[in-house]
């Protein structure tokens, strides 16, 4: 029998640990522990006692405790792991199987995300139709505020980046066409690429990163602060209050920003053409006029509302999916930007195929 006495606390833990190392546990029979001499016990002492009992269990011995007070028994139970605890070890899985499982799991997640986004698009369409048929329900103050944030405040960054893209396109086009003596056709390259593709696509990507993420962060923060729940309690329609003003704002602002970006890119290309090719501005604009038609402009411009719809839907949808705290807001904001840009590029590819099939 092993007799335990005195205080078993944090203050005596180091001495007790050295003493326990020298205690011999019987190799057979039943290990009995007399605990009637315990005067004090805390969690550190209870853990040492648990380790002593576990030594006997590891040798395959049954154990009996004598003289343990009820309060000490409760403390010992607190530090003793449950019998059904799960092991932290994992079964070995082949790398190929793990990869297939990850791909399959990601596929089902993407399919579920697409289904939910389509459902959200349907709900948004119904709400938008109800608001349009009853204009008094449109929140014009919120709409004007979001228009300022999405459109007016984005003009500097859109203009600057579009101007620089125009400079790069004109310079690179002239540099490549110089080998064929056709530098003048860099103006054609600039006009067609900017008006059909680059201008509206670059603007949509900027809006997705700037305003789409802001939609998610704003609505997500409102969910974390339970403001969305408060709106529902007051009988307000969350779609009308939070989603529709933002969606209308981006649908109105993105085409205007795309037009402004086209002008800035053409201005940048004109400046580089004058500097690198030695063209005069009248020559540049004459060549530009012969290269592009109104159809060239409209082919790019009609994409803008579709891109805006995708950006607004994804931004608001991910914001309403926020759960928990700030970590969820950050994760959903990142997800919204990635999804928006991905869907915009997919839509642009679909437009390219459609216009090619139509001969536009």
Write the CATH number of the domain with boundaries 2-79: 3.30.750.24
Whether the per-residue pLDDT at 333 is higher than 80: the answer is yes
Interaxial angle between packed helices 303-320 and 199-207, expressed in degrees from 0 to 180 and rounded to the nearest 10: 20
Confidence at 29, pLDDT banded by 50, 70, 90: low
Confidence at 222, pLDDT banded by 50, 70, 90: confident
- Transcribe 11-65 into DSSP letters: GGHHHHHHHHHTPPPPSSSEEEEEEEEEEEE-HHHHHHHHHHHHHHHHTT-EEEE
* Cα torsion 265, 266, 271, 275: sign: positive
> Would you list the domain boundaries of the chain?
2-79, 110-117+124-358
Residue 324 Cα distances to 216, 334, 335, angstroms: 14, 16, 16
Whether the Cβ atoms of residue 41 and residue 8 lie closer than 8 Å to each other: yes
Task: Give me the pLDDT at residue 311, please.
Answer: 92
Which residues, listed in sequence order, are joined to residue 34 by a DSSP beta bridge? 3, 66
pTM for this predicted structure: 0.70
**255-289 pLDDT, tens per residue?**
999 999 999 999 988 888 887 777 778 888 888 88
**135-157 pLDDT, tens per residue?**
888 888 888 998 898 888 989 99
Residue 213: enclosing H or E segment and its boundaries?
A: helix 213-224
Those residues whose C-beta lies under 8 Å from the C-beta of residue 326, and which sit 6 or more positions away, are: 224
**Residue with tokens 């006692």, as numbered in its chain:** 49
């Amino acid at each position: 029998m092993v007799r335990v006495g005195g205080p078993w606390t944090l203050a005596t833990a180091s001495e007790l640990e050295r003493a326990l190392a020298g205690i011999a546990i019987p190799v057979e029979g039943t290990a009995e522990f007399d605990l009637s001499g315990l005067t004090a016990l805390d969690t550190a002492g209870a853990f040492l006692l648990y380790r002593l009992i576990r030594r006997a269990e590891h040798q395959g011995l049954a154990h009996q405790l004598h003289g343990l007070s009820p309060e000490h028994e409760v403390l010992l139970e607190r530090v003793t792991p449950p019998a059904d605890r799960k092991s932290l070890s994992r079964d070995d899985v082949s790398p190929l199987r793990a990869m297939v499982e990850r791909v399959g799991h990601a596929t089902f997640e993407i399919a579920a995300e697409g289904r939910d986004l389509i459902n959200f698009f349907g709900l948004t369409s119904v709400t938008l139709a109800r608001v349009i048929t009853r204009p008094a329900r449109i929140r014009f103050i919120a709409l004007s505020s979001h228009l300022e944030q999405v459109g007016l405040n984005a003009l500097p960054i859109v203009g600057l980046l579009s101007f620089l893209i125009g400079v790069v396109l004109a310079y690179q086009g002239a540099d490549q066409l110089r080998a064929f003596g056709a530098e003048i056709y860099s103006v054609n390259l600039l006009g067609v690429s900017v008006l059909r593709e680059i201008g509206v696509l670059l603007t949509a990507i900027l809006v997705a990163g700037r305003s789409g993420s802001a939609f998610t962060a704003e609505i997500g923060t409102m969910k974390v602060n339970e403001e969305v729940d408060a709106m529902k309690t007051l009988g307000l329609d969350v779609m009308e209050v939070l989603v529709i003003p933002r969606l209308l704002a981006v649908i109105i602002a993105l085409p205007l920003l795309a037009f402004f970006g086209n002008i800035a890119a053409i201005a940048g290309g004109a400046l580089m053409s004058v500097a690198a090719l030695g063209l005069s501005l009248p020559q540049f604009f004459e060549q530009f006029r012969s290269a592009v038609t109104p159809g060239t402009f409209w082919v790019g411009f009609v994409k803008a509302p579709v891109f805006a719809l995708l950006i607004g839907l994804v931004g608001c949808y991910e914001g309403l999916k926020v759960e928990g705290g700030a970590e969820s807001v950050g994760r959903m904001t990142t997800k919204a930007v990635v999804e928006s840009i991905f869907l915009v590029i997919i839509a642009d590819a679909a437009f390219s195929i459609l216009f090619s099939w139509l001969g536009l």
